Amino acid sequence: MTTTQYETIFQQVVALLQQHAPQPGPIQEDTELIKDLGFDSLKVMEMLHDVEDAFDITYPLNALSDLRTVKDFTMQIQAIIETS
């Protein structure tokens, strides 16, 4: 994993999260999607659709169970991109 690629993905993820977050606020790596940003299952699915479009990936729904923080999400997206 390169730091530059991670930072680029992280910035794009933050921008997408800010568009969809029910409880907008500052977004850091350790920001929790549900607790801090107020995401529910419907909002997560809407946001995932935009993430898939933005990164031209298919995000596996079974990976959602491992998703807690913005860093987790960014690292999952990076892993998907690297294996595509």
* Total domains, the chain: 1
Output the domain CATH number for residue 78: 1.10.1200.10
Q: What is the pLDDT of residues 25-65, one digit of tens each?
A: 899 999 999 999 999 999 999 999 999 999 999 999 999 99
pTM for this model (two decimals): 0.92
Residue 7 has pLDDT above 70, yes or no: yes
CA distances for 81 relative to 1, 19, 27, 31, angstroms: 11, 22, 22, 22
| Structural domain range at position 51 | 3-83
Cβ atoms of residues 27 and 18 within 8 Å? yes
Cβ contacts of 61 within 8 Å, gap of 6 or more: none
CA gyration radius, the chain: 12
User: Between these two residues, 60 and 4, which has the higher pLDDT value?
Assistant: 60
